[in-house]
Amino acid sequence: MSMALKQVFNKDKTFRPKRKFEQGTQRFELHKKAQASLNAGLDLKQAVQLPHGEGLHDWVAVHVVDFFNRVNLIYGTICEYCTDQSCPVMSGGPKYEYRWQDECRYKKPTALSAPKYMSLLMDWIEMQINNEDIFPTNVGTPFPKNFMQVAKKILSRLFRVFVHVYIHHFDRVNMMGAEAHVNTCYKHFYYFVMEFNLIDQKELGPLKEMTLQMCH
């Protein structure tokens, strides 16, 4: 990453603190393996494929945490320009509005401003990935039956952050010279969810044309 990009994507700008993998754990080794593939300049379509002999749930868990960190970083770079005034509705253009729903305060889908939605979303994802019952960190502890369901929900909601950033804040990303980095993050995310069928095709609609151009 160039110095200019390092300044754009610095730790202070991260919307949430990074979730790290414990050294010496199987998940940490898998994370290193995934990073090595990316750093070696491997084709992203190949880099997302399940390594021989590894478990699908572990591979998905590592990527969910990694994408959470990356999307946090991307949103962190533009969050000062994403306000209740500039983005009173969490949307992806005029056709797509995203409403927030959870198990606690918002039992019904509720219209919120983009920054409020993002804040609730990041809190909710953090709660899921820090929950040992859903994302177990000890080798040998089985994943719960609903793990893939939770992972899919997290990834489809993270996709909405890409949608909002691309449609409403991409001029800011451009001004910072971060376009190539954000595009690479998006392509990596897209190839991963497609490889394992983790997001419903309907959800991908808002960025369909851009994705066709970017990810032949």
Query: Which residues are annotated as part of the binding site for Zn(2+)?
Result: 82, 87, 164, 169
Distances (CA, A) of 82 to 85, 165, 182: 8, 9, 17
Given a contact cutoff of 8 angstroms between Cβ atoms, the answer to whether 20 and 164 are in contact is: no
Tell me the binding residues. 82, 87, 164, 169
